[in-house]
Each structure stands twice: as C-alpha cells, then as structure tokens.
Chain A
Amino acid sequence: MTLLRRQGYWEGEFTAMASPCAVLAEVDTAAEARRLLDIARGEAQRIEARFSRYRQDNIVHRINTSAGQPVEVDDETALLLDYADRCHALSEGRFDITSGVLRRVWRFDGSDRLPEPAAIAALLPLIGWDKVLWQRPRLTLPAGMEIDFGGIGKEYAVDRSALLLQAETRSSFLINYGGDLFASGARHNGRGWQVGLDDPSVTGQGSVGGLEIKRGGVATSGDARRFLLRSGIRYGHILDPRTGWPVPDAPRSVTVVAATCLEAGMLSTFAMLMGKQAETFLAGQHVQHHVIR
C-alpha cells in the first residue's frame, strides 16, 4: 500500500480483486488520506474475501459446492442475488451469474483454438439463472452449476467504498478499482477528475481520449487482448449464456458514465451483450458512453 503526494491531492494505491486499486483524495494531510485509504482498502478486501469465487472459505464456495442442497445466505449476499436476479430480467437472460462454467472450455489467448461445439453443448444444461431456486434467504443451485459475482463484485466494491468515504469526509475523492471508478464531487478548483480511457488495442499503455467527471460512476466492459481469431472471424470474450458462444459483433470495449459505478458497469456489460445493437441500446439509456469497435 503506497501513498503519493500529487498536484492538489493524495493518491493511495493497493491491490485487491486481482487488479490495481487507487484512491485519490483532495484532503490536506497524509494522515487523513491514509485513513480514507485504509477504509476503502478494508472494504475492497472484505468484499473480495466474501464474494471471490477463487476462495474456499466464503459463501460463494459454499453455494458452488452445495450439490443441489439449499443454502441459507446472509443479508448482503441476498441483496447481491436480488440484484443479479433483477439484472437477469432486465437483460432478458443475457446477464447471468451462472455462466461462469463456460470458462472451462473457452480460453481467449489470441490463438485460433475454438472449443468443440459438443463440449460447449455439454455445459449448457449447467447454465441458466432460471434453473436456480432463489427464495430469500434460501438459494438452491442444481448440482454442477456455479455462480460468479465477477460481473458485479468490483463495481459493488467501488460504490460501497465510496459510500463509506462519503460518510467520513466532505472533500472530493476518486475511487478506481481496476478501471471501475467513482468520483464523489467537483474538486476545489470546481473542475472534475480527469479519467483516461484505455485504448483497447494497447491496454494499459495508452489512452484514447480523456473524460472529465465531477460526480458519478464510470465502468468499462471489454478487454481487447482476450479474443480468438479463426478464419478471419474475431471471437470476443463476452459469451452469451443462452448459446454458450461469444456474442457476435460485440464491440471491443464500452465505457459508460452513470450515477453509480454499478449502474455504469451493468449498462456497459448489457451493451456488450447486445453485440451489434450495443450503440442503439446505449442511445436509448441516455447515458454518457463511449464504444470502441
């Protein structure tokens, strides 16, 4: 965890959820900045510990190894499940937290090794939020199925950290967990926070234009390096849970600005899942967005 003095603000960095995380705060003292950084880091690590599917000691693991038996979940998990359920309905089944099993067959390493259609077909019976029995607070997952909060976790952590920091300080701050951001308000000079948009072709090295945000969430879906190329067709890594195949003609990346990071994240993910109609979908949502194809 490091703390650096920047032009008019402090920038604290740490790693969580397998991504670089930063908290930029317009506070006067290093002590205050460190305090806010600790709160944000604590929340990010709390959420990672509770909802990451890579760990054996949390509720997600218990659910994924429940072998068809009902599991009683706590309030926070129930709220996340309600949210996933709502997003599943709003996206007509395109956003589905049970689609994680498809990674057993798909490797997006830029090669041309597409999985066998039969292997994909074999996984389809294990995918489908509608196959899950969710009666709060009990969740019954058919044996062999898995859930993954990957599509919600990071944005949820950003918004949660933002709410905690807002209760602690009235000065402006920017939270950035691996590209998912939240800005709490205009800076002292009245301007917003400058946010660079990753150029998907050279992710991490260059940006393709900036964005100034005073208050709200920013999230980006899509990762240019994860794709497959076979006989001239580019297969993006966004998979349609209903077919098990990548969404045809999905953009390389979609960035959305909304009131919260969660909303921005969901809208950008929905847009990617709409493939060809991503731009039309986003136009209908009246949100500031940026699509790169």
Chain B
Amino acid sequence: MQLNAGTSIRGALALATCTLLGTSLQDSRADASADDWRVDGGVLYYSEQDRVTVVEPVFFLRKKTGEDRYFNARLIFDTMSGASANGATATNTAQTFTSPSGTTTYTTPAGETPLYKFSDERVALALEWERPFGRERQMVYGINASVESDYMSVGLSTMLLQNFNDKLTTLTTGLSANYDSVSPDGGVPVPMQLLSTVVAPPPADEEEGEDEGGESKSTLDAIIGVTQVLTRRALTQFNYSIGFSSGYLNDPYKVISVVDGSTGATVDYRFESRPDSRLRQSLYWKYVYHLPRDVVHFAYRYYWDDWGITAHTADLHYRFELFGRSYLQPHLRYSAQTAADFYHHSLVNTAPVPAHASADYRLGDLATTTYGLKLGLPVGKSSEFSLRVESMKQTGDSYPADAIGVQRNFDLFPTINATIAQITYTGRF
C-alpha cells in the first residue's frame, strides 16, 4: 500500500487493532459464566424404632472446569449408633452371646429378639472427573474410599456415555472395581462354629487388643444402559447391570439360632456363613414424564442373584409445582424380595449342619414399603433448600409354618419401622 500522503490506512489499521484487542481479550480474561459451581450440603437422619439410628451429613461439590468438563467430589460422614438384630430369634429363656474372640458378652431377656449394641463412625470420599471426547462422547472416571473402625473400602469406576441421533439416544457402559477389608472388633468368627464352643482367651492376650486380623472381599460391577428421549415431554432409561463379589461376604456380627428339634427352644447358636462369591444381576427401567407443570419419575427394577434372591422394586416420585420455584414431592417405594437359599430363621440341632446358613433378616423374604413427602423452597436466585420426611416399614413372615414348639409363641421376623428425614441445601454460583 503506497503510503503517499493521501492514502487512507485507517481501515487496515482499525482491523489490525481489532485483531490485537479482540482475541487478546478472550485469552487473558475467561468469560466468567454463571453456574460453574454447584454445592449440595445435606444431613440424613435415619432411625429405626429401638434399633439403629444413623446421622449422615454429606457434602457434594460439582465444578464445571471447561466445556462439558466437570469435577465432582462427595464427602460423607456417617455416625451409626443403637442396636442391631444379631440374627438369633426370640425364645422362652434369656440368651447370652459371646463375641468370636470370647472377650465380650451380652445378654437378652426372654421373649425378646436379641440385639447387640454398637456405634461407629464412617468417613467416605469419592472424586469424579467428567471429560468430553468430541461432541458425542463423554467419559467419567471416579475413585472412592471409605473408612470406618472395622471396615475399609477403596474403589475406582469408569463410565462411557455415547450419544446418537443428536443426543436423543445415549448409550452408557460402565465398569467399577472395589476392594473392601473388614476387621471386626471381637475378631473374625469361624463360620458355622457353635458359640458354646468359643473359649475365652487367657487374660494375657487382653492388652494385645481385640482385633485378630481381618478378611477382605473384592467386587466387580458392569452396567450397560440406553437412555432414549421419547417425546418433548418424556424420556426413559433402561439398564442391565451385573456384579460379581468374591471373598469374605459374611456379616461377622450375625449368628443363627440352633433349636431343639421337638421343643423349639434355643439351645445354641452358630456364627453365620455365606458363600464366598455372589453374582448379582438387575434390569432397571426409569420413565420420566413432564405434565403441564408437574413431573413424574417412575422406576422399576428386577434383581436376581445366584444366592437365590429375586426382588421386584418400584419407585414413584410425583413432583407438584407450587408457586414460584417451590414444590411438593410425594414419594412411594415398594420392594419385595425372596429369601436367599441359605436363609433360615433357625437351625434344628439334630439336622445335619448346612454349608451355609444365615438368619440375617435382610436375606429373608422381605417386603419394604416406604412413603414420604419432600418440600423444596427456592433460596435467592438459583439456590434451593429442601426437607424430606419418609416412613419405611419392613415386614416378613413373623410366624413361619416351619416354626417348632415354643418358636410359634414368638415373632420370628419382627417388623422394622424406620423414619427417614433429610434436609438439603443446594447452592449454585
């Protein structure tokens, strides 16, 4: 461009200046876009009638670290206290139990379901990273760890989400592995050993402390699922998941009553014994529908495993939109499961000793019914406070047909009533 006095270079200079100021502005000053942070703080209060009470404060953090890139962190504190059924059934005499190492004993009055007292604290931390790979694929990597006085767990997981049809269809596949180690206070019981044969150790071992080593188990889980947008108002998700655990799967604190074949009176107990592997599978379906203002979430799961347990679970949330951003959300959940093959409420002393046996009610024929209500209230421009109160009931066959003699006088499957209360604050900034 010949710069004789008259030529105008103003346009070219203006463009060069824009180049300098334009791009340089973006490089040095990231656009502070809102909603990069989401923080959820919540406390769960779970309390069973005269059994265990759990207070569980949790802190969730989700930070957007780039386009479709997120960092998630979950910090969980768990304090459990109260009593838990040890597996033995109520009977017509008082009952005393000794811990596997024989160092602690506790007694239960006649006619009452034996419970053992415990309290424990647990801290768990999970970290997750979400990374996009092009517009259609997202990977999630996660690590987690959980520590309590007698239990430790570490694990990692990865999930792939692949979009099709302009994100109308999403295929999710995931894998996770966990390693847990349990070191029960009171020692690791010998499965199926009769409590009467447990010998209290000589005092000398006292100060060396209760804990005599521990056991471990590892778990592998895989999931494959499809999420499909059906209409402007509806989407559905369908997952198949499979999980395999192997190693020490027993509950070290659980025993099973041994009763006299004719009178049905409890004569002894055995530490429970479960198989050392478990293959779990489930089909899960979720359907979400947006009515003119309200939203319905319905989920159904069919579960089955090689312990002989099958379970149907249905879960329904109906969210009523109130004024502004507040809402009321009733919740209904029903789950019915069949007993594990080796579940028995008790064993007959004359019968041959089975390889595996457990009286843990959670492995029995069980129906869980939960209903509750959640209230959500807006806080400021984009934050929210919510309160949820629910009631949960677990019932089983209290008077099974195969009960013998005195057993018929007692409730062999006491109903559990629990209250669930949760307050949560969700902050976005």
A interface residues with partner B (beta carbon < 8 Å): 75-76, 79-80, 82-83, 86-87, 89-92, 156, 159-160, 163-164, 167, 258-260, 262-263, 266-267, 270, 274, 277, 280-281, 283-287
Complex contacts, A287 vs chain B, CB 8 Å? 10
Given A83-B16, A284-B7, A262:B29 Cβ within 8 A: no
Min CB gap B193→A, angstroms: 71
**B24 and A262: CB pair below 8 A?**
no
**B8 and A164: CB pair below 8 A?**
no
* Interface assignment of B20: CB less than 8 Å from any CB of chain A: yes
Identify which of B21, B24, B25 contacts A260 (C-beta below 8 A): B21
Complex contacts, A286 vs chain B, CB 8 Å? 8, 10
For the complex, what is the distance from the CA of A280 to the CA of B4, rounded to whole Å? 9
Given A90-B12, A262-B20, A267-B10, A76:B28 Cβ within 8 A: yes
New contact pairs (18) apart from A79-B20, A267-B10, A286-B10, CB-CB < 8 Å? A75-B23, A76-B28, A79-B19, A82-B16, A86-B12, A86-B16, A89-B1, A90-B1, A90-B13, A160-B21, A160-B24, A262-B17, A277-B5, A280-B5, A281-B5, A284-B7, A284-B8, A285-B10
For the complex, what is the distance from the CA of A270 to the CA of B25, rounded to whole Å? 25
Sample of 21 A–B contacts (CB below 8 Å): A76-B24, A82-B16, A83-B20, A86-B12, A87-B13, A90-B9, A163-B21, A163-B25, A164-B29, A260-B21, A263-B13, A263-B14, A263-B17, A266-B13, A281-B6, A283-B5, A283-B6, A284-B6, A284-B8, A285-B8, A286-B8
**A83 and B5: CB pair below 8 A?**
no
Complex contacts, A159 vs chain B, CB 8 Å? 17, 21
For the complex, what is the distance from the CA of A83 to the CA of B19, rounded to whole Å? 8
Complex contacts, A79 vs chain B, CB 8 Å? 19-20, 23-24
Min CB gap B25→A, angstroms: 5
For the complex, what is the distance from the CA of A160 to the CA of B25, rounded to whole Å? 7
Given A75-B27, A163-B25, A267-B10, A80:B5 Cβ within 8 A: no
B interface residues with partner A (beta carbon < 8 Å): 1, 3, 5-10, 12-14, 16-17, 19-21, 23-25, 27-29
> Which residue in chain A gives the minimum CB-CB distance to B1?
A90
Complex contacts, B10 vs chain A, CB 8 Å? 258, 263, 267, 285-287
Complex contacts, A91 vs chain B, CB 8 Å? 3
Complex contacts, A259 vs chain B, CB 8 Å? 14, 17
For the complex, what is the distance from the CA of A283 to the CA of B6, rounded to whole Å? 7
Complex contacts, B8 vs chain A, CB 8 Å? 284-286
For the complex, what is the distance from the CA of A286 to the CA of B8, rounded to whole Å? 8
For the complex, what is the distance from the CA of A167 to the CA of B32, rounded to whole Å? 10
Complex contacts, A258 vs chain B, CB 8 Å? 10, 14
Complex contacts, A86 vs chain B, CB 8 Å? 12-13, 16
Given A79-B19, A260-B17, A262-B20, A90:B3 Cβ within 8 A: yes
**A284 and B5: CB pair below 8 A?**
yes
Complex contacts, A280 vs chain B, CB 8 Å? 5-6
For the complex, what is the distance from the CA of A112 to the CA of B14, rounded to whole Å? 40
For the complex, what is the distance from the CA of A259 to the CA of B13, rounded to whole Å? 11
Complex contacts, A82 vs chain B, CB 8 Å? 16, 19-20
**A156 and B20: CB pair below 8 A?**
yes
Min CB gap B162→A, angstroms: 34
